[in-house]
């Protein structure tokens, strides 16, 4: 294993940011390569601890000569967001200097050539420098896994439509419970920027079948503990074995994916009519009926009629729910997946 340190110069003199990159060299030429990164949204730590649990497995495979394709690992991809605190509360989703989401506005290249990316001194802000650096590190890999988490949710994949259902074996190997198929542009999310160079040349189905590019949502933001870390590390390892990056004859084939799979347009975002304290009746992974009560918002505590009930607009599968129990009016609190198109479907990302 080779370790290197990436350095991002800050926007002011005397400030810089660093993060480690770990590389495992493959043995045979032509084997699929893999890139894994975690915590692009710096407060989302399930992926970081999953990689921590995965690393001993990779070191063992390396020592035994079982790594077939090159593997690049970035366990903590966003040192800028990691350092952002406001009034004692961590702020890792948006860059405080530009107010831009760390997982938006990645550059889209027409070919997977790092030379097309601008040099550091030609990039305006430090968050854009980071995005260019991460994309540069990932370019050329057949498998690109961007590890995130939701507020509270099941483990699920967000997969570019061009790669589904060819990636169903990966969802099964990892143990994803759902797959959201992304059909529309997302304003430059990392996974979109990663697949874009390979779509621009009108690839064949065989060429696309080799690609594995996905945002992996590892449950909820508080699901950071040993059990989930080990489970997710085992799932990542199985995926790498299934796609030929690692050889391990002790790993059994995973079979077919049997979870929920639906386009983003089939995801209903249930909103709150009023602000207040949120009381849930449902949890991620539940299947609910149309008209079933989802939650109650206590908006005027202590008064008759001080709570308002929220009912499911359609039947479906509960993908996620909001973690905070204080909400504003008109706020998304539940993502509900249905077999049909949502009446309120909108293109793009599931979250802002």
Give the pair of three-digit tokens for residue 342.
Answer: 């949502």
Of 237, 258, 279, the domain-final residue? 258
CATH number for 116: 3.40.630.10
188 and 239 together in one domain: yes
Q: What is the predicted pLDDT for the residue at 327? A: 98
217 and 288 together in one domain: no
**Assigned domain for 223 exists:** yes
CATH number for 323: 2.40.50.100
**Assigned domain for 204 exists:** yes
78 and 209 together in one domain: yes
Residues 6+ apart with CB under 8 A from 160: 181, 182, 191, 192, 195, 213, 214
Do the Cβ atoms of 181 and 161 come closer than 8 Å? yes
Q: In what order do the strands lie in the sheet with 307-311?
A: 307-311, 293-298, 276-280, 326-327
Q: What is the predicted pLDDT for the residue at 297? A: 98
CA dist 213 and 112 (Å) reads: 14
**Assigned domain for 350 exists:** no
**Assigned domain for 211 exists:** yes
pTM for the complete prediction? 0.96
CA dist 161 and 168 (Å) reads: 12
Of 208, 238, 258, the domain-final residue? 258
Q: What is the predicted pLDDT for the residue at 270? A: 96
**Assigned domain for 349 exists:** no
295 and 202 together in one domain: no
Containing domain of residue 47, as a range? 2-258
Q: What is the predicted pLDDT for the residue at 121? A: 85
43 and 129 together in one domain: yes
Q: What is the predicted pLDDT for the residue at 339? A: 79
229 and 320 together in one domain: no
CA dist 70 and 49 (Å) reads: 21
144 and 287 together in one domain: no
Do the Cβ atoms of 203 and 213 come closer than 8 Å? no
Total domains present in the chain? 2
146 and 54 together in one domain: yes
69 and 171 together in one domain: yes
**Assigned domain for 315 exists:** yes
pLDDT by 10s per residue, the chain, length 352: 999 999 999 999 999 999 999 999 998 888 999 999 999 999 999 999 999 999 999 999 999 999 999 999 999 999 999 999 999 999 999 999 999 999 999 999 999 999 999 998 889 899 999 999 999 999 999 999 999 999 999 999 999 999 999 999 999 999 999 999 998 778 899 999 999 999 877 788 888 999 999 999 999 999 999 999 999 999 999 999 999 999 999 999 999 999 999 999 999 999 999 999 999 999 999 999 999 999 999 999 999 999 999 999 999 999 999 999 999 999 999 999 997 777 666 666 677 6
Of 220, 241, 258, the domain-final residue? 258
Alpha helices in 73-177 (DSSP H): 79-82, 126-138, 168-174
294 and 209 together in one domain: no
Closest CA to 261 of 182, 323, 204, 148: 182
182 and 271 together in one domain: no
Closest CA to 42 of 147, 192, 144, 159: 147
174 and 213 together in one domain: yes
The DSSP annotation for 258-293 comes to -SEEEEGGGEEEEE-SS-EEEEES--TT-EE-TT-E
**Assigned domain for 13 exists:** yes
CA dist 220 and 150 (Å) reads: 5
């Amino acid at each position: 294993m080779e370790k290197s340190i990436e350095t991002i110069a800050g926007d002011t003199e005397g400030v810089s940011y660093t993060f480690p990159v770990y590389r495992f060299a493959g043995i045979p030429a032509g084997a699929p390569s893999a890139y894994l990164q975690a915590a692009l949204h710096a407060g989302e730590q399930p992926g970081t601890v999953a990689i921590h649990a995965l690393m001993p497995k990779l070191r063992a495979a390396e020592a035994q000569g079982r790594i077939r394709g090159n593997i690049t690992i970035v366990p903590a991809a966003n040192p800028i967001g990691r350092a952002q605190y406001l009034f004692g509360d961590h702020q890792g989703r948006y860059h405080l200097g530009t107010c831009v989401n760390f997982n938006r506005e990645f550059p889209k290249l027409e070919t997977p050539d790092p030379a097309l990316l601008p040099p550091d001194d030609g990039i305006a802000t430090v968050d854009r420098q980071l995005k260019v650096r991460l994309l540069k590190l990932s370019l050329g890999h057949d498998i690109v896994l961007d590890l995130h988490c939701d507020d509270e949710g099941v483990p699920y994949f967000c997969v570019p439509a061009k790669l589904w259902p060819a990636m169903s074996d990966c969802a099964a190997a990892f143990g994803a419970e759902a797959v959201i198929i992304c059909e529309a542009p997302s304003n430059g999310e990392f996974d979109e920027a990663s697949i874009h160079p390979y779509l621009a040349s009108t690839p064949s189905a065989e060429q696309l079948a080799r690609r594995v590019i996905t945002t992996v949502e590892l449950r909820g933001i508080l699901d950071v503990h040993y059990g989930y870390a080990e489970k997710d590390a085992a799932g990542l390892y199985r995926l790498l074995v299934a796609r030929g990056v690692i050889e391990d004859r002790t790993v059994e084939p995973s079979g077919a994916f049997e979870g929920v799979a639906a386009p983003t347009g089939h995801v209903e975002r249930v909103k709150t009519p009023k602000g207040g304290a949120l009381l849930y009746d449902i949890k991620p992974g539940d299947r609910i009926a149309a008209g079933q009560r989802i939650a109650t918002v206590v908006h005027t505590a202590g008064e008759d009629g001080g709570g308002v009930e929220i009912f499911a607009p359609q039947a479906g599968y509960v993908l996620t729910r909001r973690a905070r129990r204080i909400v504003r009016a008109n706020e998304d609190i539940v993502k509900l997946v249905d077999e049909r198109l949502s009446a309120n479907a909108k293109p793009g990302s599931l979250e802002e």
